[in-house]
Amino acid sequence: MSNSLSGFVHGLLYRIGLKKRIHLFSQTEETEIVAAIAEAENLTSAEIRVHISHSHKPSDVVKSAAKTFKTLGMHKTVDRNGILIFLAPHTKQFAIFGDEGIHSKVADGQWDQMRDAMQSHFQQQQFKTGVILGIQESAQLLSKYFSPGDINPNELSNEISNGN
């Protein structure tokens, strides 16, 4: 394929959303993130997930996170205490989205410092560090309101999900 045709095809694929996915984390980093989620969930009954959006279209990241939250079934936890760290690397956005049980107990401003610290790491291309920091700080904050109790079932997968 000639360079000009290759460039045209690449541009077309980009415009219709079929460009290659960004591999934000290595397999080792993904394993470390999943382990951080499992460890964090020992401190709280809250459920934490990480999702990577591969959409190329700029959008309202909070609305996208809310849609993904529902698609992943995170609203089905017993205490409505799921939290989603939603990453949109193509549009350089992210959101921390919590269920109604979390919003009823945790003020919006309590997330600001964590968001800012995560953003600082992301700006330095330290994605794994930023995500793990968000997981750990979420667990610390949520443990004040949602203690793990004697029985603390893992209601949701700890694996990183991918999609739009």
pLDDT at res. 17: 47
Residue 108 included in any domain? yes
Residue 71 included in any domain? yes
| Euclidean distance between CA atoms 3 and 9, whole angstroms | 10
Residue 123 included in any domain? yes
Residue 8 included in any domain? no
The answer to whether residues 42 and 140 touch, using CB atoms and an 8 Å cutoff, is no
pLDDT at res. 47: 96
Mean pLDDT in residue range 130-153: 93
What pLDDT, in 10s, does the model give residues 14-73? 444 445 567 889 999 999 999 999 999 999 999 999 999 998 887 899 999 999 999 999
Residue 18 included in any domain? no
Residue 54 included in any domain? yes
Letter for the amino acid at 149?
G
pLDDT at res. 2: 42
Residue range(s) defining the domain that contains residue 84 = 24-163
> Hey, CA dihedral for 85, 43, 27, 159, is it positive or negative?
negative
What pLDDT, in 10s, does the model give residues 62-71? 999 999 999 9
Q: State which H helix or E strand residue 56 sits in.
A: none
**Phi, psi (rounded to 5 degrees) for 90:** -65, -30
pTM, two decimal places:
0.85
What pLDDT, in 10s, does the model give residues 73-107? 999 999 999 999 999 999 999 999 999 999 999 98
Report the Cα 150 to chain-centroid distance in Å: 27
Residue 10 included in any domain? no
Q: Which two tokens stand for residue 8?
A: 């045209």
Residue 161, class by beta-carbon neighbours within 10 Å (0-12 exposed, 13-18 middle, 19+ buried)? middle
What pLDDT, in 10s, does the model give residues 1-14? 444 443 344 344 44
Residue 9 included in any domain? no
Which residues make Cβ contacts (< 8 Å) with residue 145, sequence separation at least 6?
102, 105, 106
Query: CATH code at 29?
Result: 3.10.310.50
Q: Structurally, how many domains does the chain consist of? A: 1
Which residues make Cβ contacts (< 8 Å) with residue 130, sequence separation at least 6?
117, 118, 119, 120, 121, 122
Q: State which H helix or E strand residue 97 sits in.
A: strand 93-98
